[in-house]
Amino acid sequence: MKVLLLVCDVIVPTDDFPSRAQILDLCPGVDGLLWTSYRMKLDREVLDACGPQLRAISLTMNGVDCVDTEELRHRGIPLGHTPFIPNESVADLAIGLMIVTNEGLFHAGNNRNSRRAIQGSTVGIVGFGGIGQVIAKRLQGFAIGSILYCGRNAKEAAERFNAQHASFEELLARSDIIFISCPLNKDTCGLFDREAFSAMKATAILINIARGAIVDESALIEALKSGRIRSAGLDTVTAEPVPPDSELFQLSNCVIVPHLGTATKRTRDEMAVRAVNNLICGLRNETMPSQFQ
């Protein structure tokens, strides 16, 4: 059996939260890049700083919205990521946020009628990929009325969950609970704007476990303050960490957690191992176990 050994010098930032300038200073001459920040853009500036010898990039995350993927394709640099691994833990958090926001557990003492049964609700899932489907699986035990989902195409897997494909407009109008589990891209950035909130039920709740920029934050605040929608549960917002003076903190009908979707030891460990394996394969000019297409 032929065994290929790979000996590497590993450069690690000395600060826990290095600045972009510090990252750029470490880039020149590297052959591989393990990228851990979804907030910092991996763009042409970073690639130019690395140099022409750069052979592979690997992300310790599922989404690739922080990466200029077109520039990578142009340069012929393979990109690894960690799809499917976070699905279970992110879906679990989504269900937890649904329960807290729907039943008003944080402010039930102020309004004894703030709790509402989940049973019989119509649930909308925006983005019916891996995470969206696990959310639908988790919902089977709640005796909900129906599941709607929207996306580019109908999914064969939807039949297992008795989920119906719908337009975005129909999903907004009919859903009592809406989960955002789609990727952030040019089509979904700002998808939930004032027009979208106006189309939702006044009793609806919104759960975002995807990316903050999918929601127009000022429009969300306005909808929550005015009662245009009932409540929101957010694992992600536009600016992270959330500024201390954010108006979201002042709203009793908004629950925020600090991007904890993947924050289980098992999930983070598996994502880290996959990311390293992706990078090693890329440096060997082999196909990565999870190579972004």
Kindly tell me if the per-residue pLDDT of 242 is higher than 90: no
pLDDT in tens, 6-15: 778 899 898 8
Pairing of strands 177-180, 163-165: unpaired
Report the C-alpha gap between 57 and 42 in whole angstroms.
10
Same domain (yes/no): 53, 105: no
Report the C-alpha gap between 192 and 211 in whole angstroms.
12
Q: How many CB atoms lie within 10 A of CB 84?
A: 14
Same domain (yes/no): 235, 162: yes
Collect contacts of 114-119 with beta carbons under 8 A, ≥24 apart.
116/203, 118/142, 118/143, 118/144, 118/177, 119/143, 119/144, 119/145
- Alpha-carbon torsion (12, 18, 21, 23), positive or negative: positive
Does residue 290 lie in a domain region?
A: no
> What CATH number should be reported for the domain holding residue 226?
3.40.50.720
Catalytic residue list: 259
- Higher-scoring residue by pLDDT: 106, 159: 159
Full domain range(s) for residue 48? 1-81+264-284
Does residue 293 lie in a domain region?
A: no
Same domain (yes/no): 272, 232: no
Report the C-alpha gap between 246 and 212 in whole angstroms.
14
Structure tokens at 49: 């700083």
pLDDT in tens, 168-219: 999 999 999 999 999 999 999 999 999 999 999 999 999 999 999 999 999 9
Kindly tell me if the per-residue pLDDT of 40 is higher than 60: yes
Structure tokens at 54: 């750069």
Same domain (yes/no): 10, 101: no
User: What would the mean pLDDT of 140-160 be, rounded to a whole number?
Assistant: 93
Same domain (yes/no): 104, 249: yes
Q: Which residues contact 14 (CB under 8 A, 6 or more apart)?
A: none
**pTM of the prediction?**
0.91
Does residue 63 lie in a domain region?
A: yes
Same domain (yes/no): 77, 211: no
Does residue 292 lie in a domain region?
A: no
What pLDDT, on a 0 to 100 scale, did the predictor assign at position 201?
A: 97
Same domain (yes/no): 135, 65: no
Least Cα distance to 195 among 167, 173, 225 occurs for 173
Report the C-alpha gap between 216 and 82 in whole angstroms.
27
Report the C-alpha gap between 271 and 62 in whole angstroms.
9
Report the C-alpha gap between 133 and 94 in whole angstroms.
12
Structure tokens at 160: 């297992």
Backbone angles phi, psi at 291, to 5 degrees: -95, 130
- Higher-scoring residue by pLDDT: 142, 3: 142
Q: Is 285 exposed, middle or buried (0-12, 13-18, 19+ CB in 10 A)?
A: exposed
- Higher-scoring residue by pLDDT: 103, 201: 201
Specify the number of domains making up the chain: 2
Does residue 91 lie in a domain region?
A: yes
Report the C-alpha gap between 148 and 126 in whole angstroms.
9
Does residue 125 lie in a domain region?
A: yes
Does residue 291 lie in a domain region?
A: no
Same domain (yes/no): 64, 193: no
Mean pLDDT (the chain, rounded): 93
Number of continuous H segments (helices) and E segments (strands) in the chain: 9, 10
Kindly tell me if the per-residue pLDDT of 228 is higher than 80: yes
- Reduced to 3 states, what is the DSSP secondary structure of residue 180? strand
What pLDDT, on a 0 to 100 scale, did the predictor assign at position 103?
A: 76
Does residue 50 lie in a domain region?
A: yes
Same domain (yes/no): 225, 168: yes
Q: Angle between the 265-283 and 87-103 helix axes, to the nearest 10 degrees?
A: 140
Report the C-alpha gap between 2 and 258 in whole angstroms.
46
Same domain (yes/no): 193, 229: yes
Same domain (yes/no): 94, 76: no
Structure tokens at 203: 């009793």
Pairing of strands 56-59, 79-80: parallel
Same domain (yes/no): 54, 17: yes
